[in-house]
Amino acid sequence: MELEKIKEIIADSVDFDVESITEDTRFDSMGLDSLDIVELLMQIDEEFGTETEPNASLVTVGDLIAHIRESK
Amino acid sequence: MRDNELCRLLGIEKPIIQGGMAWIADAKLAAAVSEAGGLGIISAMNAGADYVADQIDKIRTLTDKPFGVNVMLMSPHADEVARILVHKKVPVVTTGAGSPSKYMPEWLAAGITVMPVVASVAMAKNAERCGAAAVIAEGQESGGHIGELTTLTLVPQVCDAVNIPVVAAGGIADGRGMAAAFMLGAVGVQMGTRFLVAKECGVHQTYKDMVLKASDISTVVTGRRFQASSCRCIKNKFSRGFLKTEYLPETTAEDIAELGVGALRLAAVEGDRDRGCFLAGQISGMVNREMTAREIVDEVYNGCISLLKGAN
């Protein structure tokens, strides 16, 4: 559920093959720079009602999903 | 302008902030700008808490006006610097290179006015959410570490996106630039390059001369290839060599990180024309006279006021 929504948001904001995104996909492999990550997180927060700060522990899509589950 | 939002927020007379330039913005320059009615900023750059504490003590001997400290969030000493700012009861903090969220609770509890430098709408919204009192929207015209958007495009979009005051930075060095910033919705400006050549600025004379002699096309951006560290600096042997290496097929992001180490100090302290990295904005071509901080603040402010009066 979360993965699908996150994939949708990523697809919406960057040109990346959404079908290839899994929980193991690293943000840096998607070619996102630091500004892209902040934008993505703000959109995710708007969707899930969370407050996510860009930080070094958010490496993969799975890390983000875990964070959202914890914050909810 | 008498009831300017930024002046009220910061307790200053003129809504002009001096940029926190690493190796350049020290207590002496910051005090001169604050004394002139603007807001002087000390750069904490990559230094440890002892250096920052010394600079704060020093500025307090030079002025009793408000001042700020710029924290480079990527600095290995950011944690200890963040604490010393609370301990020293610094009135204003600006931040660069990331989100200051980690330090915000402590800074806000200490009554510090925090103004992050942002390069995108999302960064500005993030800053507002963290409790920032204002944001400094900096376009890629500026010197040093930059984003992609220009000041003309960034400032109005940030103004539309947040409910806190917006300061414009990047490409502003005179009354026309300041008036334009107000037209875009900003309530103040931050200038770096213009203050770099202030008489009170202790940067090496070679650095000043390079800015004073620069033309409109004298700067380049290094580091763009790896999306990590785009940096605007003056064209010289160092930056040309950097760009040549950057675009070699075999060059990696790690190689690039190595290339810049120590080059800013070589420029600012040693005045090494060939090996130094001379960070400066695109407006350098228009900055061609050394003046005191007060003369700069007055000229920019008065120029802006007369233009805005004409626009009404």
User: What's the ipTM?
Assistant: 0.77
3-class SS at B244? helix
| Closest residue on chain B to A37 (Cα) | B122
- In this structure, what token pair is assigned to residue B222? 């290094």
Q: Can you give the pTM of this predicted structure? A: 0.91
Structure confidence by residue, pLDDT tens digits, B282-295: 999 999 999 999 99
CA distance B137 to B170: 8
* Consecutive H or E run containing B186: none
- In this structure, what token pair is assigned to residue A48? 């899930």
**Is domain B5-201 given the CATH code 3.40.50.10860 in the classification?**
no
pLDDT of B270 above 80: yes
- In this structure, what token pair is assigned to residue B30? 């910051």
Distances (CA, A) of A72 to A2, A62, A66, B102: 12, 16, 10, 20
pLDDT (0 to 100) of residue B258? 83
**Weakest-pLDDT range from A55-59, B67-71, B185-189:** A55-59
Q: Where are the domains of chain B?
A: 5-201, 219-279
pLDDT of B192 above 70: yes
Q: What is the 3-state secondary structure (H, E, C) of B72-106?
A: ECCCCCHHHHHHHHHHCCCCEEEEECCCCHHHHHH
Which has the closest alpha carbon to B152: B163, B173, B138? B138
| Closest residue on chain B to A44 (Cα) | B122
Q: Do B123 and A38 count as a contact with CB atoms less than 8 A apart?
A: yes
User: How close does chain A come to B227, measured CA to CA in Å?
Assistant: 6
User: How close does chain A come to B299, measured CA to CA in Å?
Assistant: 35
User: To which CATH superfamily is domain A2-71 assigned?
Assistant: ACP-like (1.10.1200.10)
Q: What is the DSSP letter of B2?
A: T
B147 to chain A: which residues are within 8 Å by CB?
35
pLDDT of B228 above 80: no
Beta carbons of B52 and B84 less than 8 angstroms apart: yes
| Closest residue on chain B to A36 (Cα) | B122
A43 to chain B: which residues are within 8 Å by CB?
122
Q: What is the gyration radius of the CA atoms in chain A, in angstroms?
A: 11
**B101 → closest Cβ in A35, A42, A53:** A53
Q: Where are the domains of chain A?
A: 2-71
pLDDT of A4 above 90: no
Chain B neighbours among A 1-30 (CB < 8 Å)?
Answer: none
pLDDT (0 to 100) of residue B109? 96
pLDDT of B90 above 90: yes
Mutation pick from A13, A27, A38 vs chain B, by most beta carbons of B within 10 Å, is A38
